[in-house]
Structure 1
Amino acid sequence: MRIDTSAGPADIELDRPPRAKFLLLLTHGSGGGVDARDLLAVRDCAVGLGGAVARVVQPYRVAGRRAPGSTTVQDAAWLEIVAALRKKVRKVPLIQGGRSNGARVACRTAHAARVKGVVALSFPLHPPGKPEKTRRDELRAARPIEVVVINGARDPFGVPDPADAAEVKVVPNQPHSFRSGFDLITAAVEPWLLRWGEIPA
């Protein structure tokens, strides 16, 4: 599925059961795609719980770029994608998330998108080796909407403080791009998806 936005077209992979209990939007990191194994683990968990899942390839990636550019442009396009998908899967709770840069987008736009919760995979707390350039404010921007953060213990982008999210799950021995521990990711996300899915739209 393709959705036109002010930043260009976005491509959507939509898994939709006949009667979805919730809608989960997931997106990728800066130079990545929607087939990252952690995103697929969350997708599979959500579908197994009766949710509809839209994996979103953002306009800058559709255009072949690796860097998202302006956060203002990126967030505006994301909210246009959210609005379009809400028309396709109606009257269910909305949850959004992503990995790395996608997690930043999900946190920054959580209020404007009126989501029930956020799944933040490998939230990049700061550039590698530059902890003084923290992105903590972006994570906290979602408050009081609950954010579940899942980061690898060896992530050079850092691990958020547990005080800044509803839950921070640290997967042992994993870098920024998970190579294993997908069962732990599923176990962390499942109870939140169940909870958010029970909140009225």
Structure 2
Amino acid sequence: MSTERMVEVMEVQTPGGPARVHLARPPRPAGSVVLTHGAGGSIRAGDVTAVATGLVEAGWAVALVEQAWIVAGRKLPPPAPVQDPSWLPVLSHLTTGRGRLPRPLVVGGKSNGARVAFRTAHDTGADAVLALAFPLHPPGKPQASRADELRAPVTHGIPLHVVQGETDPFGTPTEVRAELPDPSWVTVARGGHGFTRRPDDVVAAVLAFVRSLGARDQGGQKG
């Protein structure tokens, strides 16, 4: 984040070892967004950094999470039965106690990070979930669909939004929209799975989604 002087770094103990949280909390935040990285393991990826900076500048608290597996020096994320139990304590730490993050609480991530956030959205008490490039299937293998993970928040009435690159080999925006009840839940962004070097359209889509949550809640609509 460009607002480095505002960032608090903390470690959270999990069954998989410590996870590391980088928290930026502006004065009187409008809400909170918790984001984690993809399988590459970097919260400093250009699109993640741009989104985090844009959110903080718009008055949202942002927690960037380095998951336990990456802090431990592993090169690939573990399977869901191992990854998810080490993700849940991070959200519990951020949402309980004196230092809890203000709501609405949006939980999400890039690629693999979106998968863990969507799978556990109900268990973490998220008010909404966000995917920066959801890996609907491995490249060239549409039959190996992860649509059940994509739709997991829907079964609990949790609002979701996916920002998907127009040429993403892990699933095009058209493919992702076909798996969701409402095509407006997917925004098309320039580029592929990594978007572009100037992801202004990604930042704009994220800001539009988080700002819609208050109006959505007032209208009694969820999901």
Contact 2:27 2:59 (8 Å CA) reproduced = no
Confirm or deny that 1:187 pairs with 2:204: yes
CA deviation map 1:161-195 (0-9, x unaligned): 325165111223x1211223511112211121112
The offset of 1:91, in angstroms, is 4.5
Q: How many residues align?
A: 199
- Please state how far the C-alpha of 1:78 moved relative to its aligned partner: 1.1
Q: Is the contact made by 1:22 and 1:197 (CA closer than 8 Å) also made in structure 2? A: no
Aligned to 1:167: 185
Identical amino acids, percent of aligned pairs: 44
Compute the RMSD of aligned alpha carbons: 1.8
The residue that corresponds to 2:213 in the other structure is 196
State the Cα deviation string for residues 38-68 of structure 1 (Å, max 9, x = none): 1112212221221110000000000111211
- Please list the CA deviations of residues 72-119 of structure 1 after superposition, one character each: whole Å capped at 9, or x if unmatched: 221111111001011323452211110010010111011111111111
**Is 1:138 the counterpart of 2:153 in the alignment?**
no
Q: What is the alpha-carbon distance in structure 1 between the residues aligned to residue 110 and residue 15 of structure 2?
A: 23
Q: What is the CA distance between 1:70 and its match in structure 2?
A: 2.3
What are the within-5 Å matches in structure 2 for residues 22-41 of structure 1? 22-41=31-50
Task: Please report the TM-score for the alignment, with normalisation by the length of structure 2.
Answer: 0.83
Which whole-Å CA distance do the structure 1 matches of 2:39 and 2:107 have between them? 17
* Contiguous gaps of at least 5 residues in structure 1: none
Bigger RCO (CA 8 Å, 6+ sep) = 1
Counterpart Cα distance in 2 of 1:191 and 1:2: 31
Aligned to 1:47: 56
Structure 2: segments with no counterpart, 5+ residues = 1-9, 219-223
Structure 1 pair 47/197, CA: closer, same or farther in 2 (3 Å)?
Answer: farther
- Which contiguous aligned blocks of 4+ residues in structure 1 show a shift greater than 4 angstroms? 197-200
Residue type at the aligned position of 2:209: W
For residue 13 of structure 2, the aligned residue among 4, 11, 34 is 4
Which range moves more in the overlay, 182-191 or 99-108? 182-191
Please tell me whether the aligned partners of residues 20 and 50 of structure 1 are also in contact (alpha carbons under 8 angstroms).
yes
Residue 78 of structure 1 aligns with which residue? 87
- Aligned pair 1:154/2:167, yes or no? yes
Aligned-pair CA distance for 1:196: 2.5
